[in-house]
Amino acid sequence: MRRIPIRSLMAKGLKALVLALGLSAAHSALAQSSAPPVRILVGFPAGGGVDVVARLLAEALGQKLGQPFVVDNRTGAGGLIAAAALKHAAADGQTVFLSNDHTVVTALLTTKAPGFEPSSDFVPIGNVAQIAMGLAVHPSTQSMRLDEFAAWAKRNPSKANVGVPAPASIPEFAVSLLSGQLSIDAKAVAYRGGAPLAADLVSGQLPAGITALSELLQYQKAGKIRVLAVSGTQRSPLLPEVPTFAEQGVQGLDQSNFLVLFARAGTSAKVVERYSDALRAVLAGPALREQLQALGMQPDYAGPEAVRRNMQRATDNWGQVVKQIGFQPQ
């Protein structure tokens, strides 16, 4: 029988508690307000990282704006189903969409017909959080830095497997970047999410993995894995002792993943501004900031125009990588 680490159970318990709190808050708001609820579309299952953040936002925004917010999970296709639901929703501000960059950037580069175009179908309300990626290794690799991992991979070419949380994802493309710049032949192994990847990494079934820092943080602090590098232009405040990829000579991984709240294109500017102002306020407050940081995320409000620029930079950056590695949209 496979043993489940206590910390994993604790993490699941935290997510379950947050889920319960979010549901309770939403139900309470519905009971106390005559205003119709605002739906927050989420493209991933209940209890996952994006869903947990959505429920925290539902509680915080509901209290700030005095109207109920509820989470509506439309799972499947890496968030594309939820994105399509926003595209076909009324442009009245009653439906919004919390998305990661995989759905609104990577999927457009790797899918022939995603069914929506963010620049014309959606309008950004604001950025919610940055989520750094980390490259982590099992202690058996005896690696403390990227160059030491590269040396290990060259000595063990048949074992140089790097787990990624999904196929055709930014972490998978990052493996290609690392292979080229470190002169190794690393092979991406796709999982169904960061949690099972991290579990195999901790057990030693996988020597290395690239996924969101939020999936790695608890195991790094417990000494069960070693995070060798993080994405972004600066070190993560969650793991300030870990250098960035760029500090160790690897270019192209200076952007962290992000979570953005969108409205339907055509939603009045007044409604978008009201939601954006509320989002900025709740992200500035200590309660939500601490909750997001506990999940391994860095709260980071940015307004609509800044979100557009960030998405374009991400599209340009990863579009070039996709072209370089010869990936063909499916």
Q: Per-residue DSSP letters for 66-114?
A: TS-EEEEE---GGGHHHHHHHHTS-SSSSEEEEEEHIIIIIHHHH-S--
Mean pLDDT of 241-246: 96
Among 30-34, 72-76, 148-152, 268-272, the least confident range:
30-34
Cβ-contact 40, 54 below 8 angstroms: yes
Residue where the block lists tokens 């539902």:
58
Q: How far apart are CA 271 and CA 286, in angstroms?
A: 25
**How confident is the model at residue 29, as a pLDDT?**
42
Q: Sort strands 208-212 and 161-164 into parallel, antiparallel or unpaired.
A: parallel
Among 36-50, 63-77, 174-188, the least confident range:
36-50
Q: How far apart are CA 239 and CA 237, in angstroms?
A: 5
Domain 6-131+257-325 indexed as CATH 3.40.190.150: yes
pLDDT for residue 264 is more than 60: yes
Mean pLDDT of 99-123: 93
Highest-pLDDT range among 8-17, 99-108, 141-150, 186-195: 141-150
> Model confidence at 31, in pLDDT bands (50, 70, 90)?
low
Give pLDDT tens digits for 80-106: 999 999 999 999 999 999 999 999 999
**How confident is the model at residue 81, as a pLDDT?**
94
pLDDT for residue 308 is more than 90: yes
Mean pLDDT of 18-34: 51
pLDDT for residue 16 is more than 60: no
Indicate the pTM of the whole model.
0.80
Residue of 63, 65, 104 lying closest to 86 (CA atoms): 104
pLDDT for residue 10 is more than 50: no
**How confident is the model at residue 47, as a pLDDT?**
81
Q: Which helix (H) or strand (E) holds 44?
A: none
Tokens of 301: 């409000």
Domain 133-248 indexed as CATH 3.40.190.10: yes
Residue of 33, 34, 35, 58 lying closest to 46 (CA atoms): 58
Q: How far apart are the first and last CA of the chain?
A: 37
Q: Decide whether 6-131+257-325 matches 133-248 in CATH topology.
A: yes
Domain limits, the chain: 6-131+257-325, 133-248
Give pLDDT tens digits for 154-192: 999 999 999 998 888 899 999 999 999 999 999 999 988
